[in-house]
Chains A and B, each alone.
Chain A
Amino acid sequence: MVSCNLLITKFKGGLIVKRLIGLLLTLCMLSAVLIGCGEKAPTGGQSGDSSKDVAGAENTPEATGKQENGKGEDKEAESQTADPLKDPYGLPNDLSAYPLKDNPTLTYWWPIDSFQAVATKDMNEQEVWKEVEKITGVNIEFQHPAVGQETEQFNLMISSDDLPDLICQSDSYKGGVTAGIDDGVFIDHSEIIDQYAPNYKAFRESDEDRRRTTMDDKGRVLGFYNLSPYSEWMWLGALIKKETLDKTGLPVPETMTEWYDFLKKCQEAGYDNPLNFDASSGTVWTGLFCSAYGAQDWIFINKEGKADWGPIQPGMKDYLAEMSKWYKEGLIDKDFATRDYNSKMAFLISDACAVSIESPDTLWGTWKEQNNIDFVGSPYPVLKKGDKPTTTYKHWKNGGWPTSITMECKNPEAAARFLDFGYTAKGWELFNFGLPERTHRIDESGMPYYHEESAMWTDPDKVPLSHRIWKYKIHQGPFIREEHNSNPMLVSPGSYSGQIRQMWTEGTDASPAVPPTSFTSEESAREADLSTQLSTLRSEIFLQIIMGQKPIEEYDKFVETAKSMGVQEWLGIWQAALDRYNAR
């Protein structure tokens, strides 16, 4: 009897256990399904992480405040009140509006991409934004789409009826912000800026480039851009490993002939394929090497001031002939056309590579810091010694990232006043250099700098230096940008990437550069169609010529084909857009 009962309980128990396991497994599967449900702005789970951030942030200023009670108090008091700073540019500094009475609340849609996400996942918790909200007296509710889904979420939001007050990167709108204003999504900012954003108005209008690149052809101001007091340095060019100069005994090459000799000598010295030729379309997009022959990579402004196309310039044939000669002799990396980013980085640090076409900021990390390879920048080459090289790259004192006010904003005055803060000297100091004393101090000339104990250098969470630009300051947004002095990659002790970039910018003529024009909606479909065809044609033929699959005579056929595809019509569209831009 007893054994029977035991048997029954054992059997029952086994059944119950089986059922429990089955139930648990089903629940696991169901939860896996639910994880897939879209995430909105990070809430419960994320706030756990960000509260740690806040706690950390609150500790350090208190600590440093206690240490430097005497001096620090004075300095802090100085920077906290609305005392105008003596900044090096004499920026506008009308702080009379702050803090805003009645503490309005605005919603702000801000896409966080994977780069930003390394340092900060929620702008509501970011220390600089919190300080800005405190000073302006405006509460901001940031809305973030899921990382990696920015475009889809942007379009979904636009199609819905529930728009936030402010949208960052409003130029994601199909057709540009100007189409957004036509479609009734954004407001025309001209009037609101005249009335409520005196600092932005003054800074914007103080320079032709800044004025023109922030408005459309109809004369409407499109939003609050990331403007710059100067044209920021070029960031792409030829970088040579220092050791190669010693091994070959040659100086840094300046003409195309010197380049050929230099690469040949590098090859003899043991660098098998010395040039990392980062030109997946056959030409480097800034015009490096090809501009020496008078041919630019794509659209450029020619000497008559008209829009012209680089690939059909006669000099391009000489460029291609020279490059195919280099490729045949092994001076160019054999796999240059098929490398992806990681493979390129691997090639750069290998012994086969002597010269790279890259950004000195990146190579400061990859070559110098990680592999202790010193490097120098070489100027853009020319044909005849003493000529000035040209490029189509130019920074138009506008870093993009416009924030626009939407038609659904009930309080555009508060929105404009809030955004205007970024264009005051105080806003410039805060956005670019982070919190006073915690991240920066100010030197005698009025320029802020990162002191030794700055959080920028001593980051306790070990976020990579390149990403701290989002943790302790804001890298891009609605404010005046101070790239040369606030980017830690440029100002970190011992870094010479800034000098190289300065050398390139001052030594190269950027007059062929095309300003950021805009097309009408009729033009833009036609332009996109022709542009895709011409780009396919150009990249395919140029690469085949360089890699020796087709002879150089193929170039003449290319010019004929391009003409029959409608390159003149296409240039006409660009010229019309250019004329409208210059008439702004």
Chain B
Amino acid sequence: MATAQRFEGWRDGMSVWKTENASSGGTIVTAGQQGGPAMIRNDFRRNWKVYVMALPVIAFYIIFCYGPMYGLSMAFVDFKPRLGVFGSPFVGLRYFKEFVTGPYFVRLVSNTFLLNLWGLVFGFPAPILLALMLNEVGNRRFKRTVQTITYMPHFISLVVVCGLIRIFCASDGLINSIIAFFGGERSPLLADSSYFRAIYTISGIWQNVGWDSIIYLAAISGINPELYESATIDGAGRLRRMWHITIPGIMPTMTILLIFAIGGMLGSAHEKIILLYSPIIYETSDVIASYVYRRGLQEFDYSYSTAVGLLSSIINFIFLWFANAAARKMSDTSLW
């Protein structure tokens, strides 16, 4: 009896084949596992078009991401552009030592970390909440209008946004007018260290909540509507449905994005900070990137900034590793 077998894919290291049989259509799981190179050869033969499509992407990563990594050795030499990376005099760990033993090191690291933590604690749930709320809205027109309005700020240039923030936070600005209306005293808000994190985080949320919620809305739309129907029949209210269906449905997306966010804890979008800060609020606003920027204005010190960048990246990677390990233990989703 001629049975046509179609290769379906790999599951748990075993190949799965679907039989096209006149009498019984079904899936057969072959117990054998093909060896590595043979596996790839076979797959390549069948799906070579997909491999060809992936080729430019792989080339991109090799050329633009992995290739330039040799430049990291700039951190260990006193780099002079004319002599190149390998021709410049070797200085070893000098710049790392300089950075770590500087008087502001602890403050810089803690400011960077805290600013990102605030962004995580307040800025991470915000798009999720927005997506959940938008999902509950019945009126499609209203939903689409709200979506458009919330993701418009994302397209405003950062420089313009920071200019607006400065104007609003000035003594005669909008926010101070509101404070004065309620009987408070006017003061330049961007000159007070204790307000900086709030201003930075809130303005970040305002600008990005709409755009970031798109991915969650996309994930929600992938949830099977039958689940909602059966839940409603079983008597689940709106909040229950959200808790038991929607949130688990977008949990994989949330986990991946959370891992990314944790992997960025020691980096920061320093352009925004540089546009907003001033020496009087260095105490909470001076982060690693902005200090290195000021240092670089003196000297175009490629080596110093590469060293600091390398250090931050290593620490970020450690965070990422732990976050991923935790995610793997606690759920099915993880980066690797």
Where the two chains meet, the residues of A that have a C-beta atom closer than 8 Å to any C-beta of B are 151, 155, 158-159, 174-175, 179-180, 183-185, 280-282, 334-335, 337-340, 342-343, 521, 524-525, 528-529, 531-533, 535-536, 539-540, 543-544, 547, 549, 565
Q: Is the CB–CB distance between A338 and B282 below 8 Å? A: no
Query: Chain A: interface secondary structure?
Result: helix
- Nearest-Cβ distance from residue A464 to partner chain B, whole angstroms: 22
- The answer to whether B82 touches A536 (Cβ under 8 A) is no
Measured between C-beta atoms, what is the minimum distance from B244 to chain A in Å? 43
14 pairs, CB–CB < 8 Å, chain A vs chain B:
A158-B82, A174-B81, A183-B82, A335-B188, A337-B279, A342-B163, A343-B166, A525-B78, A525-B299, A525-B301, A531-B298, A533-B103, A544-B280, A547-B280
Output the least CB separation between B133 and chain A (Å): 34
Q: Which residues of chain A have C-beta atoms less than 8 A from B163's C-beta?
A: 340, 342
Determine which of B169, B279, B286, B300 lies in contact with A174 in the assembled complex, contact meaning CB atoms within 8 Å.
Answer: B300
Tell me the bound Cα distance from A531 to B301 in angstroms.
Answer: 14
- Inter-subunit contact A543/B103 (CB<8 Å): no
Smallest CB-CB separation from B303: which chain A residue? A525
In this complex, which of A151, A342, A543 has the most chain B Cβ atoms within 10 angstroms of its Cβ?
A: A543
Q: Which residues of B are found within 8 Å of A521, using beta-carbon distances?
A: 78
What are the 7 tightest A-B residue pairs by CB atom distance, in nearest-first order? A539-B279, A543-B280, A528-B298, A183-B82, A528-B299, A338-B190, A334-B171
Question: By CB atoms of chain B within 10 A, which of A179, A183, A281, A528 has the most?
Answer: A528
1/0 per residue B287-312: CB within 8 Å of A?
Answer: 00001001100111100100000000
Give min CB distance, B234 to chain A, whole Å.
46
A-B contact count (CB 8 A): 97
Which of the listed residues B191, B279, B282 has the most CB atoms from chain A within 10 Å of its own CB? B279
Contact indicator B81/A335 (Cβ below 8 Å): no
* Given A184-B82, A524-B299, A528-B299, 6 additional A-B pairs, CB 8 A: A183-B80, A339-B170, A528-B295, A528-B298, A532-B295, A533-B102
A172 to B167, CA, bound (A): 35
Q: Do the beta carbons of B280 and A540 come within 8 Å of each other?
A: yes
Q: Is the CB of B280 within 8 A of A335?
A: no
Report if B183 contacts A (CB, 8 A): no
- Chain B 239-284 interface residues, beta-carbon cutoff 8 Å to A: 278-280, 282-283
Instruction: Note all chain A residues with C-beta closer than 8 A to B102.
Output: 529, 533
Minimum Cβ distance to chain A for residue B94 (Å)? 8
Contact assessment for A159 and B81 in the assembled complex, using a CB-CB cutoff below 8 Å: yes
Q: A343-B166, A343-B170, A540-B282 are in contact. Are A533 and B104 (CB under 8 A)?
A: yes
Are A337 and B103 also in contact (CB < 8 A) when A174-B81, A532-B295, A549-B280 are?
no
A180 vs B81: C-alpha distance when bound (angstroms) = 10
Assembled-state Cα–Cα distance A13/B261 (Å) = 50
CA distance A179 to B78 in the complex (A): 13
Q: Mark B156-174, 1 if CB is under 8 A from A, else 0.
A: 0000000100110111000
Task: Evaluate whether A174 and B80 lie within 8 angstroms (CB atoms) in the complex, with A525-B299, A536-B279, A540-B282 already known.
Answer: yes
Report how far A183 CA is from B80 CA in the complex, Å.
Answer: 9
Decide if A532 touches B279 in the complex (CB within 8 Å).
Answer: no
Across the interface, name the chain B residue whose C-beta is closest to A564. B103
> Which residue of chain B is the closest to A535 with respect to CB atoms?
B294
List B contacts of A180 (CB < 8 A): 82
- Interface: B50 (CB within 8 A): no
Closest Cβ of chain B to A327, distance in Å, is 11
Q: Which of B80, B294, B295, B298 has the most CB of A within 10 A?
A: B80
Quote the shortest CB–CB distance from B161 to chain A (angstroms).
Answer: 13
Instruction: Decide yes or no whether B333 CB sits under 8 A from chain A.
Output: no
B138 CB to nearest chain A CB (Å): 34
A180–B300 CA distance with the chains assembled, in angstroms: 14
Chain B residue contacts of A528, Cβ below 8 A: 295, 298-299, 301
Contact A158/B81 with A337-B279, A532-B295 known, Cβ cut-off 8 Å: yes
Q: B181-207 interface mask toward A, CB cutoff 8 Å, 1 = contact, 0 = none?
A: 000001110111000000000000000
